[in-house]
C-alpha cells in the first residue's frame, strides 16, 4: 500500500500545480481592478455623505480615492497585469471619484446659494474631468515627466481639501462667490495645455539611500498631526506649481532671447 501511494503521489502534484498556478495568476490579475473598485466606492461614498450634508465625512473619501488611484496603476505595472480593460475601468472610476463626486461635494458646500449658476458650474467641473480623462487615454508619445493639463485627481483634491479645511460651507450668495474659483480654476486647468509635474518619474533614491523613506515618513507624520492644514497646502501648492513653472520657463526663454551672441 505504501509503495502504491508513493507511485501516484508525484502524479497528483503534477496535476494540481498548473491549477494552483492559474489560480494565483488570476488572483494577481484581479488585484489592480480591486483597487480601482475601491477607488470607485470612495467616489460613491463621497456622493452619499455629501447629499446627506455630512461634508466632513464626505471630503476625505476623495483623498483616499487619490491614493488608491496611484496604487492600482503601479500594482498593474509591477505585476505585469496591465490591460485595456483595466485602463477603461480606471477611467470610468476616475470620472466618478474625481469628476462627479467633487462636483457634488462642492455644490453642497458652497454652490447651492448661487442657484442655477451653482449647478451649471458643477456641471462644468464634471465635463472638464471627462474631457481630461478622454484626452489622457488617447495621448501617445508624451513626456512622462509631465502631464498636459492638471490631472483629475489633483483637480479633485482642491475642492476636497478646501471643504475638509472649512466644512461649514457657504450660506449666502456673497459668501458663495469664492466657491466659484475653488471649482472653476481646477476645472479650467484640467482642459488647459499647462504642464504639471508627474511624480511617477521622480526617483526617490530608495535603492541608494534612505532619504526617500525619510521624506515619505515625514509627509505621513505631517498629515497625521495636522491633516486639515497639510492637505490644503499640498492641494494648492501643486495647483500653483504649474504657474510657477510656466513663469520660470518664460523667464528663461526671455533671457535666452535677449542674451548677447
Tell me the domain boundaries of the chain: 16-203
The pLDDT of residue 11: 42
Checking if the pLDDT of 229 tops 90, the result is yes
Tens digits of residue pLDDT in 197-216:
887 655 544 455 677 778 88
- 14 by Cβ neighbours in 10 Å (0-12 / 13-18 / 19+) ranks as exposed
Q: Give the whole-number percent of the chain exceeding pLDDT 90.
A: 54
Confidence of residue 144 (pLDDT cuts 50, 70, 90): confident
At a CB cut-off of 8 Å and minimum separation 6, what does 20 contact?
Answer: none
The pLDDT of residue 127: 97
Q: How many CB atoms lie within 10 A of CB 233?
A: 14
Query: CATH classification of 16-203 is 1.20.120.1760, yes or no?
Result: yes
pTM of the model: 0.81
Give the C-alpha separation, 20 to 74, whole Å: 25
Give the C-alpha separation, 157 to 143, whole Å: 24
Give the C-alpha separation, 176 to 186, whole Å: 17
Amino acid at each position: 500500500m505504501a509503495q502504491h501511494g508513493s507511485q501516484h503521489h508525484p502524479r497528483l502534484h503534477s496535476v494540481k500545480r498548473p491549477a494552483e498556478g492559474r489560480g494565483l495568476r488570476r488572483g494577481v490579475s484581479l488585484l489592480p481592478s480591486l483597487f480601482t473598485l475601491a477607488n470607485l466606492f470612495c467616489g460613491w461614498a463621497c456622493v452619499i455623505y455629501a447629499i446627506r450634508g455630512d461634508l466632513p465625512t464626505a471630503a476625505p473619501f476623495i483623498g483616499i480615492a487619490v491614493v488608491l488611484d496611484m496604487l492600482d496603476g503601479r500594482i498593474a505595472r509591477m505585476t505585469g497585469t496591465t490591460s485595456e480593460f483595466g485602463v477603461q475601468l480606471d477611467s470610468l472610476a476616475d470620472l466618478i471619484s474625481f469628476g462627479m463626486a467633487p462636483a457634488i461635494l462642492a455644490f453642497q458646500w458652497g454652490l447651492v446659494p448661487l442657484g442655477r449658476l451653482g449647478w451649471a458650474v458643477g456641471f462644468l467641473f464634471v465635463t472638464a474631468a471627462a474631457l481630461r480623462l478622454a484626452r489622457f487615454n488617447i495621448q501617445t508619445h508624451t513626456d512622462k515627466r509631465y502631464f498636459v493639463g492638471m490631472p483629475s485627481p489633483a483637480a479633485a483634491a482642491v475642492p476636497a481639501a478646501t471643504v475638509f479645511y472649512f466644512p461649514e460651507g457657504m450660506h449666502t450668495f456673497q459668501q458663495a462667490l469664492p466657491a466659484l474659483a475653488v471649482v472653476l480654476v481646477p476645472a479650467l486647468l484640467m482642459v488647459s495645455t499647462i504642464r504639471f509635474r508627474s511624480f511617477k518619474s521622480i526617483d526617490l533614491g530608495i535603492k541608494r539611500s534612505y532619504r526617500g523613506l525619510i521624506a515619505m515618513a515625514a509627509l505621513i507624520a505631517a498629515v497625521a498631526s495636522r491633516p486639515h492644514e497639510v492637505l490644503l497646502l499640498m492641494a494648492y501648492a501643486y495647483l500653483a506649481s504649474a504657474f510657477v513653472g510656466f513663469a520660470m520657463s518664460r523667464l528663461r526663454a526671455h533671457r535666452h532671447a535677449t542674451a548677447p551672441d
